[in-house]
Amino acid sequence: MTLESKSNDIPTIYGDGGPLAPIPDDLTIPQFLFDNHHPLGGEGLHNRSPAWFIDDATGREITGDQLRARTWGLANAMHARWGIGNDDVVCVYGPNHVDYPVVIWATHRLGGIVTGANPSYTEDELVYQIRTAKATALFVHPDSLQVGLAAARTAGIPDERIVLFDNIPGDSHKTLSDLVMDGLSKPRSWVEPRLKPGEGKTKLALLFFSSGTTGRPKAVMIPHYAVIANVVQMKQYADRHDADKPLDKKKYAPGDRMLGVLPFYHIYGVVVSLHYFVFTGGTLVIVGRFNFENMLKSIQRYKIGHLALVPPMIVLLCKHPASKNYDLSSVKLLTSGAAPLSAELTQQVARLLPNSAIGQGYGMTETCTTFSFPQLFMRVGTPGSAGVLIPGTALRILKADGSWGGYNETGQLVVKGPSMAIGYLDNPQATAETFKDGWVYTGDEGYVNEKKELFIIDRIKELIKVRGFQVAPAELEGLLLDHPDVADVCVVGAPDEYSGELPFAFIALKDETRARIAKDPKEADTVREAIMKFVMDHKTQYKWLAGVEFVDVVPKNPSGKLLRRLLRDKLKELMKEGKIKLIQPGAKTRAKL
């Protein structure tokens, strides 16, 4: 189908490769993966050899039968101990772990919902997520235990509902393996929910957080059907290009090794890196925390064929001298997502990985990840392109004048497909702004050419993308207005080669602070440092300010709306002139995203 189609007289562009294969709407995610034979992936899932996962740190292999058993045992223990059941929410707080998927699937077996939290969150940020999602149990990585305990207690999660992924000597909390063994040793205490036809479209699987177009992070309601649908869409697209190729030439072949370095608390990691890679019949090497040189070692050690990365990781691949010290020849496909990858970096990484295809995908939490995918028919995707629309996706272009555009016309991307989220939990106003009649208004500006290639130009919405993570300016502005020296503020994204963007604050100071600086100009640096530390003390690292510029007045339009574009342009000019240099937050730990 093509643009060629009009719905209600609105030009609509469709991804090629339809109609879609069946998408079951009466199955949960683990039922789809473990219990169902699907035309596109059932054989690979049930007959693979031998491992589904490999623990990157130890080399331990985990088979499908072991995953089934651990998932069953954990579900049995969670229900017997805590009564976890239909629509109960479990929070997972920490970096990747080989048992992270076990928590997800055990919760789903009971009819529950999973919310994944960023391990770099502060106590306040984790409390906010637990309370917003209404989580009643917490699985926490040992590295994150201190903050996890404090947040759980503040949010009202009992200590006996806090479980560690691994044992800490001297700590009394149960480990996940303790619960698995306990569950396997006892009679079944639960009945797995069976969905009615169509119920998979409303039965929630995940509450993953996104800032949407504005404001504090909101819990995106993602049903089981959305995850399954996106996996089917990607697999159908990939199979279309692999169909006539011999096994050794296929982009995705059963037994391929894939690097699971993307965090499972992020929608890109949990849908593409975990569920899609598993569905292709590959073996996922699960990485705990990202460390660049360790990643190179893992690629060489496990002969990784697939890399799903974000642009900061690709910057390191291209520019870090260690890249030349390792054999990366096994890589046959690198997919970049979560933020735009420049044409220059695309060409650089293509030279570094001569055996690999290079491309980009695009999606959002609100679309349950991808609606475009790398051009698998090209070794290197069209420079600047975010890939091609996948089967089942429909896209419209809302131009600035309010009319609807077609090919090669620029405007807001408005998308629809089987993988769309339902909306934002307990936030009907924000839901109404983004989700309209089944369409998601992305807040991103771009266009599509006749080849169905997608190009992202700018963000209409105010979000700042830092290493693929969303930072809402309004969240930082609300915090900064609590600082005793700040009268008014506007936060914008500063362009940065490594992170994509970094938060930068233009601040109008209070009169008494201006007076202090007038008496002693050195006081300006003291105030600036105090403001930046204020953010560091209250927010996770990727939200830290890269700089502060004092202004007499924060510009606004007559209705009081901040003129962010004006200040973004001003910042770019000041950077170009060398008058402002960005401060890299956590520069010493740059290689540990």
Structure confidence by residue, pLDDT tens digits, 443-502: 888 999 999 999 988 767 777 888 878 788 878 887 898 899 998 899 999 999 888 899
Confidence of residue 8 (pLDDT cuts 50, 70, 90): low
The stretch 257-273 carries a mean pLDDT of 95
CA distance 533 to 537: 6
Q: For 118, which DSSP code?
A: -
**Which of 48-57, 249-258, 528-537 is predicted most confidently?**
528-537
CB atoms within 10 A of CB 352: 18
Say how far residue 504 (Cα) sits from the centre of its chain. 22
Q: Which domains does the chain have, with CATH numbers?
A: 5-22+221-459 (3.40.50.12780), 61-194 (3.40.50.980), 464-589 (3.30.300.30)
Q: Which pLDDT does position 133 carry in this prediction?
A: 98
CB atoms within 10 A of CB 427: 19
Strand partners, 5: 12
Q: For 172, which DSSP code?
A: -
Handedness of CA 222, 224, 230, 231 (dihedral sign): positive
Least confident of 86-95, 209-218, 330-339: 209-218
* 8 A C-beta contact, residue 486 and residue 514: no
Q: Which pLDDT does position 589 carry in this prediction?
A: 36
Structure confidence by residue, pLDDT tens digits, 278-288: 999 899 999 99
The counts of H helices and E strands in the chain are 18, 30
* 8 A C-beta contact, residue 279 and residue 252: no
Read out DSSP for 265-280? TSHIIIIIIIIIHHHT
DSSP, collapsed to helix, strand or coil, labels residue 333 as strand
* 8 A C-beta contact, residue 466 and residue 543: yes
* 8 A C-beta contact, residue 414 and residue 41: no
Q: Which two tokens stand for residue 324?
A: 């030349």
Residues contacting residue 285 through CB under 8 Å, at least 6 positions apart: 53, 54, 56, 257, 258, 259, 260, 298, 302, 304
Structure confidence by residue, pLDDT tens digits, 193-232: 999 999 999 999 999 998 655 567 899 999 999 999 999 9
Nearest C-alpha neighbor of 259 from the set 249, 269, 267, 251: 269
Confidence of residue 337 (pLDDT cuts 50, 70, 90): confident
Straight-line distance from the first to the last Cα atom of the chain, in angstroms, rounded to the nearest whole number: 41
Say how far residue 473 (Cα) sits from the centre of its chain. 19
Q: Which two tokens stand for residue 568?
A: 């973004």
Confidence of residue 592 (pLDDT cuts 50, 70, 90): very low
| Amino acid making up residue 356 | S
The overall average pLDDT reported for the chain is: 91
* 8 A C-beta contact, residue 273 and residue 297: no
Q: For 382, which DSSP code?
A: P
Q: Which pLDDT does position 319 carry in this prediction?
A: 83
Q: Which two tokens stand for residue 538?
A: 């209250």
Torsion from C-alpha of 422, 425, 431, 432, nearest 10 degrees: 100
| 515 has a pLDDT exceeding 70 | yes
Structure confidence by residue, pLDDT tens digits, 398-456: 998 999 999 999 999 999 999 999 999 999 999 999 999 999 999 888 999 999 999 98
The stretch 306-327 carries a mean pLDDT of 90
* 8 A C-beta contact, residue 261 and residue 295: yes
Read out DSSP for 459-525? ESS--EEETTEEE-HHHHHHHHTTSTTEEEEEEEEEEETTTEEEEEEEEEEPHHHHHHHHH-TTHHH
Strands 306-309 and 333-336: parallel
Q: Which pLDDT does position 139 carry in this prediction?
A: 98
- At residue 163, φ and ψ (nearest 5 deg) are -125, 135
